[in-house]
Structure 1
Amino acid sequence: MGLDGEVGKAQRAAAAGEERGQQPTIFSKIIARSVPATILYEDEKCLAFRDVAPQAPVHFLVIPKRPIPRISRVGPQDAELLGHLLVVASRTAQWHGAQSVYHLHLHVLGGRQLAWPPG
């Protein structure tokens, strides 16, 4: 299956999810405390918690409390929230993390349905 096949599969999965409406995600359940998590930081805008299947000695997630379904849905109205997530990630990493490449960077993976860990 080529790239077009994988992209098409991802697009169909996204469309099917939108047709069903916004279903609760594991993250919304963690925010609601119906799924347990080891919370490292919380404020009115976001939550930071340890990953349940860590891929490194320190592996945590920082999520907005207001769901943004995917990066392609981000707009100018989200700039303050996304900046806040980076500040919280920085503070949490100072308490709990380490860094190996000293140049700020974001990982964006796509083009096919991904498993974890990506590869």
Structure 2
Amino acid sequence: MSDNCLFCKIAKGEIPSKKVYEDEDFFAFHDINPAAPVHLLLIPKRHVVSMQDIGPQDTQWLGRMMALAPRLAHDNGCTPGPDGGFRLVVNTGVEGGQEIAHLHFHIIGGPRPWDKRAAPAA
């Protein structure tokens, strides 16, 4: 972990968060500025700046992180199956929209109020 990284400090409990999951390798919490009814951030506890720093040596832990995302989405309110789902977003680098220099997955989902299929019948 890095002493100067916001997400490392969150994973260490130095900065409060609304935690939804933690194990030896990963930490997940609610985004403070959600873009949808479900908006989680999933981070590795080990400090990795971005996807640009991933290499062949990272396939095992990154695969576990990818496999964890659907479970966290479902456990936190995303509807499973073809009528539900979620988005997994990984911004990489400044030009890719990354704001915090620590690899993180945005898990985004839940009902889409602008989607006419989800609107209640009048």
* 1:89 aligned onto 2:69: yes
Q: How many residue pairs are counted as aligned between the two chains?
A: 95
Q: Which runs of 5+ in 1 are unaligned?
A: 1-21
* 1:49 aligned onto 2:29: yes
Secondary structure of the equivalent of 1:94? helix
Give the letter aligned to residue 112 of structure 1.
Answer: E
Q: Which runs of 5+ in 2 are unaligned?
A: 100-122
- Quote the Cα distance in structure 1 between the aligned partners of 2:86 and 2:33: 26
- Quote the Cα distance in structure 2 between the aligned partners of 1:103 and 1:57: 11
Q: 1:67 aligns with which of 35, 47, 52?
A: 47
Do the aligned residues in 1 keep the contact of 2:3 with 2:9 (CA within 8 Å)?
Answer: no
- Quote the Cα distance in structure 2 between the aligned partners of 1:104 and 1:114: 16
CA RMSD of aligned residues (A): 2.9
Instruction: State the 1:87 CA deviation.
Output: 1.6
Specify which structure has the higher proportion of strand: 2
Residue in 2 aligned with 1:28? 8
CA deviation string 1:2-24 (max 9, x = no partner): xxxxxxxxxxxxxxxxxxxx662
Taking a change above 3 Å as real, the CA distance of residues 110 and 40 of structure 1, as seen in their structure-2 partners, is same
Specify which structure has the higher proportion of helix: 1
CA deviation string 1:46-66 (max 9, x = no partner): 011100111111100110001
CA deviation string 1:23-51 (max 9, x = no partner): 62110010111100011011001011100
Instruction: State the 1:111 CA deviation.
Output: 7.0
Instruction: State the 1:109 CA deviation.
Output: 6.0
